[in-house]
Structure 1
């Protein structure tokens, strides 16, 4: 299991990094069988997001450290270093580019982009 992490370096340039999620077998919901699960991350809040088809935003940094889980649709996110990722259904995007040049996001699907956002700060 992996997610795409977008972060800003010390000069404010944003970059992508693919992160592997470490899963270990644990008892999670007894008496159910053991499951493979990651370490928990404390979260502050969760919300749903919809970006309408055709939506195209100005470049900006993320306001807080957060993860976006795509439910439907697709967006293309371009880091300030020029590298881009397409985020589609089932993808997880971790945003940490809280300072610097930020990123550009636009909806590339004909359908609306819908996601869950989990904020950590």
Structure 2
């Protein structure tokens, strides 16, 4: 299990990295059996998002540190360094490029892109 992290360096350039999620077997909901689960991350807000098919935005940084979980559709997200990743159903994207050059996002599927956003900051 992993997520896609988009971050900004000291020169304002955004970059991608793949971050593995560490799981440990623990009792999460007793008396149910132990399950493999990650450590908890704090969250401030949760929102639902829809980008219509064909949607194409100008390059921008993210307003807050947040995670997006794709439900349906696909987007192509291009970091300012030129590397692109496709985000589709089941993918998790952590946005941390709050300043600098930002990123470009466009819907590449024939269907709308729908997601859940979990704001961290």
TM-score of the pair, normalised by structure 2: 0.99
C-alpha separation in 2, matches of 1:39 and 1:11: 31
Matches within 5 A, 1:14-93: 14-93=14-93
- Which runs of at least 4 in structure 1 moved beyond 3 Å after TM superposition? none
Residue aligned with 1:93, SS: strand
Deviation at 1:99, TM superposition (A): 0.6
TM-score of the pair, normalised by structure 1: 0.99
Q: Deviations over 1:13-62 (max 9, x none)?
A: 00000000000000000111001011100100000000000000000000
Q: Over aligned residues, Cα RMSD in angstroms?
A: 0.3
Q: How many residues align?
A: 121
C-alpha separation in 2, matches of 1:37 and 1:2: 13
